[in-house]
Amino acid sequence: MRKQQQLGTRTPIELYLSLPIIAWALFDFANTIFSANIVTLFFPQYITEFAGGDARLEQIASTIVAYANAAAAALLILFSPLYGVSMDRTGRRKPFVVMFTILAVSATILMGVFAERGLGEMFGVPTGLLLTVLMFVIARFFYSSGNVFYDGMLSSLGKDKEIPLISGYGVALGYLGTLFGVFTVLWLTGDGDFSGKFIYSGLFFLLFALPLFFINKDTKRPNRELTAAKRKSFFAGYVDIYHTFREARNYPGIFFFMIAYFFVNDALMTAIAMMQPYATTVVGFSSDQFIIIFLVATVFSVIGAIVFGYINKNIGSKRTFFYISLLLGFAVLVAALPLPMWTFWIAAVLFGIAMGSTWVVSRTLIIELSPQGKEGQFFGLFAFSAKVSAIVGPFIYGTITLVLADLGPLASRIAITSLLLMIIVGIFFLMRVPDGAPGTKRANSRVL
């Protein structure tokens, strides 16, 4: 066993019981509490109940939720290229995770402080509402910023062959964090009491992040690497993204997939962000009923990740992504049409499956399509594309509900139908991506 450990071939049990890995995975548990409770559930619910009141105001509430998410994503795009350079120049990740987590938690708690306070009006809008929205944008930006450095810690936790197991461990605990966060906060606060929901969610985020704060350490890098990194301009990250994008045009497969993924992911991320206001103000579910819908969708995310992992292995990544896109398109269509309420459960299940499988399959396809030795470079562009799509979709959705607010629920149905158009555009570009033979690393020149 000692010889195995020296060679880095730890068993799964040894990995999962390693304190640094437990602490790292618990952070996934922690930040998923924020993602589920604040981003998907309680903030949209708060805006819908606080800013709504009639059919028109409910559409304005959807616009507020959409624009707040787009603003946070825009800030991340602006600063994320600097983060990679910071990691290279300092060789440090943990201090940034700690700093951004504390800032995110602080902003989340302030959401609770302002949520149910009078505080008068500003620009004709309740000041408490404005400050809560502002704190949400700040909290989500810092949450996403911390995740950039948190993901960067993964490579130092094990050997190459151990990384997928460690990553999967974090994802599994993340889904448990969703269930724990929702049930525990609801038990502590009951109906209403958004102030308590925000504050408790922030505190649980901090509580389960503490093990990483105290246990994990940054891996020291050779001085020559740090010296070389410090010679790079602080703004080199922007230049790298530009050059990688230009280089991607020399590889049609990955270039077209980047475009396809942009539109499909755009639709998926927008659907996730806007699911709560849409289900409650358009379909007619209560807030409590939506929480059950969300939890069911989360369970099917796990199932989707597992099932489509096997499908991917058997038929290839491109075809699997194609079927996921069709599945997502059907889910959007079911949600957009004025069908009986029970059909929205079908849409929610399909959204969950798509959510769990898209990231798994897309990562594999990036590896298959990337030129040998350039996987990391194109993964960076892939991640940047995902961040940009997180702006565009919510912005388009929110603009439609704002412009067509007088139409009431029909405005949201038109807005969600726009996601179907994004998926169709994504599939069009996916058709131009070369196929990869199942089980092989590189793609050949055939198309669907």
pLDDT tens-digit readout, 199-219: 999 999 999 999 999 998 877
Pairwise CA distance, residues 267 & 390, whole Å:
9
- What average pLDDT does the chain have? 83
Pairwise CA distance, residues 85 & 153, whole Å:
15
344 and 222 inside one domain: no
Whether the per-residue pLDDT at 235 is higher than 80: the answer is no
Domain assignment present for residue 385? The answer is yes
217 and 253 inside one domain: no
Q: How far is CA 393 from CA 314, 389, 417, in A?
A: 32, 6, 12
Nearest of 398, 429, 428 to residue 415 by alpha carbon: 398
Q: What is the DSSP string of 295-349?
A: HHHHHHHHHHHHHHHHHHHHH-HHHHHHHHHHHHHHHHHHHHS---TTHHHHHHH
Whether the per-residue pLDDT at 426 is higher than 60: the answer is yes
Domain assignment present for residue 5? The answer is no
Residues above pLDDT 70, as percent of the chain: 84
Domain assignment present for residue 261? The answer is yes
Lowest mean pLDDT across 1-10, 104-113, 235-244: 1-10
Number of domains observed in the structure of the chain: 2
Pairwise CA distance, residues 246 & 254, whole Å:
12
Picking from 234, 261, 283, the residue at the C-terminal end of a domain is 234
Q: What is the mean pLDDT of residues 349-361?
A: 85
Cα-Cα-Cα-Cα dihedral sign, residues 281, 282, 284, 285: negative
Domain assignment present for residue 407? The answer is yes
pLDDT at 293 (0 to 100): 92
Who has greater pLDDT, 336 or 369? 336
Angle, helices 43-51/55-90, rounded to nearest 10 degrees: 150
Residue pair 218/337 in contact (Cβ under 8 Å)? The answer is no
Who has greater pLDDT, 217 or 222? 217
pLDDT at 436 (0 to 100): 54
191 and 324 inside one domain: no
331 and 404 inside one domain: yes
176 and 270 inside one domain: no
Domain assignment present for residue 1? The answer is no
pLDDT at 331 (0 to 100): 95
Q: How many CA atoms lie within 13 A of 168 on its CB side?
A: 13
pLDDT at 7 (0 to 100): 44
Amino acid letter for position 248: A
Residue pair 77/387 in contact (Cβ under 8 Å)? The answer is yes
Domain assignment present for residue 322? The answer is yes
Lowest mean pLDDT across 161-170, 230-239, 395-404: 230-239
CATH of the domain at 386: 1.20.1250.20
219 and 250 inside one domain: no
Range with the largest mean pLDDT of 75-84, 275-284, 296-305: 275-284
Picking from 234, 262, 282, the residue at the C-terminal end of a domain is 234
275 and 203 inside one domain: no
254 and 230 inside one domain: no
45 and 134 inside one domain: yes
pLDDT band at residue 244 under the 50/70/90 scheme: confident
Token pair 């399959």 is at which residue?
361
Q: What is the mean pLDDT of residues 172-178?
A: 86
Whether the per-residue pLDDT at 333 is higher than 80: the answer is yes
Residues above pLDDT 90, as percent of the chain: 41
Pairwise CA distance, residues 208 & 25, whole Å:
10
Residue pair 21/43 in contact (Cβ under 8 Å)? The answer is no
Two structure tokens written together for 446: 């055939």
Domain assignment present for residue 140? The answer is yes
Whether the per-residue pLDDT at 443 is higher than 70: the answer is no
Cβ neighbors of 305 (< 8 A, separation 6 or more) are 171, 356, 357, 360
281 and 207 inside one domain: no
218 and 251 inside one domain: no
Range with the largest mean pLDDT of 7-11, 303-307, 430-434: 430-434
pTM beyond 0.85: the answer is no
Domain assignment present for residue 20? The answer is yes
Picking from 187, 211, 234, the residue at the C-terminal end of a domain is 234
180 and 252 inside one domain: no
Who has greater pLDDT, 81 or 57? 57
| Full residue range of the structural domain in which residue 167 is found | 16-234
pLDDT at 4 (0 to 100): 44
Who has greater pLDDT, 131 or 316? 131
Q: What is the mean pLDDT of residues 231-243?
A: 64
Q: What is the mean pLDDT of residues 420-438?
A: 84
pLDDT tens digits, one per residue of 119-156? 666 666 778 889 999 999 999 999 999 988 887 787 77
Beta bridge partners of 121: 126
Pairwise CA distance, residues 40 & 279, whole Å:
12
Lowest mean pLDDT across 166-175, 210-219, 402-411, 431-440: 431-440
